[in-house]
Structure 1
Amino acid sequence: MFKTLLGALGTNSTEVETELFTPGVQPGQPIQGVIRMRCRDRPVRINGVAVELITRAEREYDDGEQLLDTAFAQLPVFGPFELLPGQPLEGRFELLTPWETPITFYNGRHLPGTAVAVRTRVDVDGGFDAADTDPIGVGALPPQHVLLAAVESWGFALRHADVEVGRVDRIPHQLPFFQEIEFGPSPRLPGLNQLEVTFLADPHGMYVVLEADKRAMMFAPGRDVQDAIRVDFASFEQVDWVEVIGQRLHLLAR
């Protein structure tokens, strides 16, 4: 459906439509689509049209936190050009999804708290910048699916996921944010109040960061504990990940 770019050069005559051919992807896969533009009553000078991925990320401040639409993976599509009445234009695109893109689906379930969308940006001459946003599903990679299932097999119940602006200490990654997938406590490991899992993937593998809230004991205060595992995509099927995750969780719970 065409959407009017409200306020473009003081008129409502310019419209844009973005159609995604791939409504769902996995990290590292391309998103394909087409952008169509038209105007009704007078020519409009367009400096450029681009697509980008966005996600909603938390930024922490001293006095609280704020949710921000954070853009990543930008791609110019076409422009500059003059859009003329009765002469619509369209441009196809293929936007590669970064390996660290937050996932929004796992095991047929939406991960509450995380959303990813394709945003079309239109730079109109005169300083006006319009945007059209289309949500897209990002499914877990097979190794991510296996690791999350291994965590659930130890009794941790999936709660929600969020994206945080910042860096993970001592782990290389490219994007200015990271996703945390939160699980509630497990009766099998009562020493842990909750567990958060972060995936930081690249073309060859991924880091799996396990961060747990350790329960306070009689002579020890509660604290956060962390561990990280490197997973090789080429050999991950040869590993018993339920056993490996269990060993790491028991170490965190000590």
Structure 2
Amino acid sequence: LSQAYRRLPMHPLWQIRQVVTVGEERHVDRCNNFGNRAGGKLWCTFMSLVLWIAINIKAILDLLGYVDDTFSWEFLGKVLFYPPYGQYYPTKQALLLMLWDEIGLPHEKPKQEYTPNLTIIGFDVDPALMRVTMPYESKLQLVNAIREFCKARGRRHSLREWQRLAGWINWSFNAFLLLRPGLANVYLKMSGKSHPNAPIHLNKAVVDDLAWIADHLESSDGIYMMKALMWDCEDADLHLLTDAATSAGLAFWSPARAEGFQAHRP
């Protein structure tokens, strides 16, 4: 879609809160914008209705949406000509474009992609391999950022920098689910702090966990959905018992190795 959030007009009484002053002139922003805390919810509510129409009224099945990205699958060779762009598209994609035209929702030709492998919200999706992973360059940037963070001069960063890195790493967990425990100590260090520029010192636990995440990101090639669904107890290398409590955090016990591990609640 074209411009996403900006396609939603705001109520006149709300537009008063979106006055931008440039020099001696005041300009009224009449549209939804990214700076509005409710902007995302407003857009997703609208887009959910559009997708409901597509699925239930137009019978365009198996549509998935993320903010302003809509994606699906189609059988090879099943295409439909879309006159405004002068080319063939997978049938579902062409029908969706026609729906957007019908309701007056603008879109742009460069954004209408269709290939055997798609990059969806920053992740490479390969239906043939049933794999989701990060593009190589994106993964390399994240790995380098983690390692630079751990080598900080004075071994400290502002809360804003901690939050930025934690959010970036957390986003990667869409494709690297098993690395989630690696952020436990990061969240513990940020817990209770609110000043964005306040320095927070690195400790050994955080550095070790972040190094563990970086090493595994570097060596992993993503998640294979079929393999992830086919795990069985007999395939496990190690059996763990676990429990969680709001006061004590999360703990694991390995009967075979007579070892226990505990992570405090952030």
State the TM-score bracket (shorter-chain normalisation). under 0.3
TM-score normalised by length of structure 1: 0.23
Give the TM-score normalised by the residue count of structure 2.
0.23
**Which has the higher relative contact order, 1 or 2, with Cα contacts under 8 A spaced 6 or more apart?**
1
Name the structure where strand makes up a greater proportion of residues: 1
Higher helix share: 2
Computing the radius of gyration from Cα coordinates, the structure with the larger value is: 2
